[in-house]
A and B are shown apart, each in its own frame.
Chain A
Amino acid sequence: MVDAIYRSESRRVLATLIRLLGDFDIAEEALHDAFAAAVEQWPKDGPPANPRAWLVSTGRFKAIDSMRRRARFDASQGKLAEQLEADASADAEWDDDGVPDDRLRLIFTCCHPALQADAQIALTLRTVCGLTTEEIAHAFLTQPPTLAQRIVRAKNKIRDARIPYEVPTRAALAPRLDAVLHVIYLVFNEGYSASSGASLTRQELSAEAIRLGRLLVELLPEPEAVGLLALMLLHESRRAARTSPEGELVLLEEQNRASWDRERIAEGLALVERALGSNRFGPYAVQAAIAAVHAEATSAAATDWPQIAALYGVLAGIDASPVVQLNRAVAIAMADGIEQGLALLDTVHLPGYHLLPAARADLLRRLGRLDDAAAAYREALGLVTNEAERRFLERRLVEVARPGP
């Protein structure tokens, strides 16, 4: 019973304890103590009517208690205990009207731009999602002590530089929300197409990112948050089709659409409509709209490429990055003609990114310019890091270097 409550409430309790106690480590200790007390008392007395309130209260008092005990050796702890006890706002927490959910405060604090990007990810996964340092380290192919240090440094920075535990004001929201969405998308991508290593996907990370995305939309239904959730769901709907049973890469145009997750697609499509309907949408919503067009096509041949090309045009208008230009060029190749797409590709500058020569190689291959295609595949092979993608490119290279019946 306590286990179930831990799974459903511990993150929210932690977020509130951080606000009340003003410190991540003290709050984590308080959380631990509160659940220890629950394990002891609830089987005997039965669970409380409001478990979350009970846990927050208990955690807070246990923290104040330990500060009192430590005050015998360190006077500052005693003063702190007094301040915390006198904090009247601790009781106002249960009204829930107009008061931002503490998890939102936590997300924005963990994703504060004054923290390093990898620290934002680690801290978010640890405190908002509750993953252990081992799980996070494993997912990102680092060593647990390295990751633990990263989290410690982030907490120290929050404390020493006094990063406030708050949701940004409306005026300051846009760039801060961007930072949060960026973290969530980075986590999703790390799980969707692992940047290096032997296998193509790490499902647990993507699932966590989607969970985070849902939480964000629940707490702060901004169009871009809705757009990001839609994008992640639509990408995720294709997971089963994306790799062959042998772990080989299967391109979108060759995927078995029957294995696409229709429920996720339906949810994603509804969210895309919601995001676009707001007129305040941004790049994530447009990318989601593009994914939606693919999702609605019953077959690769039935894909509405002109619609996709048009959407990339919209995207390029709000996000001038070279990756967007690359994808737009490919869409135009499919919609208006390969030569046109190739010409556009040549204007894209993306050194070190394997998908650029890979895209060029593919278009050249379709045009029958096999020698040029081979050269481009070789260039892509020089840059690719993911093993499954490497094998795919090698297969293509073999095809164009020795075209056969």
Chain B
Amino acid sequence: MQYLLMCCFNEERWTKLPNSQRDKIMQEYGQFDQSIVKSGHYRASERLQSIAASTTVREKDGKLVITDGPFAETKEQLGGYHLVECRDLDEAISIAARIPTLPFGGVVEVRPLVPASQRLAPAGSTGGH
């Protein structure tokens, strides 16, 4: 089963960390990536630019509306993600727990993907509400 690990961190807090600390965390990310590639869990990952580079697109009254910024103002912001293949939620959580920003105030949301067998089916058949 595939899970999306969303790594979130307060951007202001990140910029206040000393450079050496940030470099170390990024290096640990590299090592984390290598280890889950080795263990066969890794499917994909990306690091995002800051929300300062975000643009939101929506439609209002049939017209396209473009605005500066992320879709929501939250305490922590999405900084990157890992897509992993795991046996179950517990395994996904144990992998998430190793993400290097956690000891510094980071937060990781673990969200299951719509199961592959149901991904090509219209909603309503996903066992939803």
**A contacting B, Cβ–Cβ less than 8 Å:** yes
Contact indicator per residue, chain A 144-162, by CB within 8 Å of chain B (1) or not (0):
0000000001001100110
How far is it, in angstroms, between the C-alpha of A156 and the C-alpha of B51 when the chains are bound?
12
A155-180 interface with B by 8 A CB criterion:
156-157, 160-161, 175
How far is it, in angstroms, between the C-alpha of A175 and the C-alpha of B61 when the chains are bound?
14
Determine if B53 and A113 form an interchain contact, defined as CB atoms under 8 angstroms apart.
no
**Is B91 positioned at the interface, with any CB of A under 8 Å from its CB?**
no
Q: How large is the interface on B (under 10, 10 to 19, 20 to 34, 35 or more residues)?
A: 10 to 19
How far is it, in angstroms, between the C-alpha of A113 and the C-alpha of B58 when the chains are bound?
12
| Chain A proximity of B11: nearest CB distance (Å) | 13
Q: How many residues of A are counted as interface, with CB atoms below 8 angstroms from the partner's CB atoms?
A: 11
What total of A-B pairs shows CB separation below 8 Å?
Answer: 29
Determine if A113 and B66 form an interchain contact, defined as CB atoms under 8 angstroms apart.
yes
B51-74 interface with A by 8 A CB criterion:
52-55, 63-69
Contact indicator per residue, chain B 99-118, by CB within 8 Å of chain A (1) or not (0):
00000000000000000000
Residue of A114, A160, A175 with most chain B CB atoms under a 10 A cut-off: A114
**Is A232 positioned at the interface, with any CB of B under 8 Å from its CB?**
no
Determine if B52 and A116 form an interchain contact, defined as CB atoms under 8 angstroms apart.
no
Determine if A116 and B68 form an interchain contact, defined as CB atoms under 8 angstroms apart.
yes
**Is A315 positioned at the interface, with any CB of B under 8 Å from its CB?**
no
**Is B94 positioned at the interface, with any CB of A under 8 Å from its CB?**
no
| Chain B proximity of A113: nearest CB distance (Å) | 4
- Residues of B whose CB lies within 8 Å of any CB of A are 49-50, 52-55, 63-69
Q: List 15 A-B contacts (CB under 8 A).
A: A113-B65, A113-B66, A114-B67, A114-B68, A116-B67, A116-B69, A119-B68, A153-B52, A156-B53, A157-B68, A160-B49, A160-B50, A161-B49, A175-B63, A175-B64
- Residues of A whose CB lies within 8 Å of any CB of B are 113-116, 119, 153, 156-157, 160-161, 175
Please name 10 further chain A to chain B contacts, defined as beta carbons within 8 Å, in addition to the given A160-B49, A160-B53, sorted by A numbering.
Answer: A113-B67, A113-B68, A116-B67, A116-B68, A153-B52, A156-B52, A157-B52, A157-B68, A161-B55, A175-B64
